[in-house]
Amino acid sequence: MKKIGRNIITVIVLVLIYWVLSKFNLLPSFGSIFKPEPVLIDDTPVLVEEIKKLSQLVTITVFDEVVIQQEKTDTRYLNNPEAIIPLPYRSTAKLVLVGRGKVMAGINFEKLTEKDCFIKGDSVNIKLPAAEILTVVMNPSDFETFSETGSWSPEDVTAVKLKARDKLISRAMQQNILQKAGGKSIETVRKLLALLGFTRINISGG
């Protein structure tokens, strides 16, 4: 009977200790004890390699998300004398990435030549260059590794990411990004020229 009483008191004391510690956030959880420390990169300098003057009008941006899957035969231990266990082992390596990104399209004014632009008084004639994809953004923060099994070299992963970027572009093309960008470019240039005082505006191309 005494033993049971002592056990009950021990439980109450432990619960009380736990309550007090947790109340003041002094109790480390198992999760935090075994949580790996984040790997932080050093603050190295950013070097400007090149500065380019551009003249591009971005009129459409398509945001999208693609999934890309790649499989290959993993021969890490197959006939590899450097392997810890050089077993005749062969398996399938799989990499599944989710990539978010954006495709920006519009016109490049640098392709506008002297003969494409005619100005006289308050009238203007412009033949805009054809709309094109100007930038495709798929940064490291836009990728999520959904599954990675087996051995994937950095070069292999880059090849898969480039496939994801191609898929992003092809999906944007399916949404008629160039036609939309061309139409919007004409609209933007027309509005701007009207604001500048031109009354007779003729725009083609785009």
Binding to other proteins (CB under 8 A): which residues in 118-157?
119, 121, 124, 134-141, 143-145, 148, 151-152, 154, 157
Q: Which residue type occupies 131? A: A
Q: Convert residues 66-105 into a mask of x (bound to other proteins by CB under 8 A) and - (unbound).
A: -----------------------------x-x--x-x-x-
Collapsed DSSP state (helix, strand, coil) of residue 97 = strand
Q: Using the rule CB under 8 A, is 43 a contact of other proteins?
A: yes
- CA 92 – CA 145 distance, rounded (Å): 17
The binder of other proteins chosen from 31, 82, 113, 174 (CB under 8 A): 31
Q: Considering the complex, state which of residue 78 and residue 100 has its C-beta at the smaller distance from other proteins.
A: 100
Collapsed DSSP state (helix, strand, coil) of residue 131 = coil
Contact 129, 112 (CB under 8 A): yes
Q: Considering the complex, state which of residue 75 and residue 188 has its C-beta at the smaller distance from other proteins.
A: 188
The binder of other proteins chosen from 71, 192, 202, 204 (CB under 8 A): 192
- CA 23 – CA 58 distance, rounded (Å): 55
In the region spanning residues 152 to 191, those forming contacts with other proteins, defined by CB under 8 A, are 152, 154, 157-158, 161-162, 165, 175, 177, 180, 184, 188
CA 4 from centroid of its chain's CA atoms: 61
Q: Considering the complex, state which of residue 21 and residue 130 has its C-beta at the smaller distance from other proteins.
A: 21
DSSP 37: P
Q: Using the rule CB under 8 A, is 30 a contact of other proteins?
A: yes
What b/e string do you get for 143-157 counting C-beta neighbours within 10 Å, with b at 16 or more?
beeeeeebebeeeeb
Contact 95, 143 (CB under 8 A): no
How many other C-beta atoms are found inside a 10 Å radius of the C-beta of residue 99? 21
The binder of other proteins chosen from 1, 39, 81, 174 (CB under 8 A): 39
Shortest CB 37 distance to other proteins, Å: 4
Q: Using the rule CB under 8 A, is 54 a contact of other proteins?
A: yes
- What backbone torsions phi and psi does residue 35 show, to the nearest 5 degrees? -80, 125
Shortest CB 108 distance to other proteins, Å: 9
Q: Using the rule CB under 8 A, is 10 a contact of other proteins?
A: yes
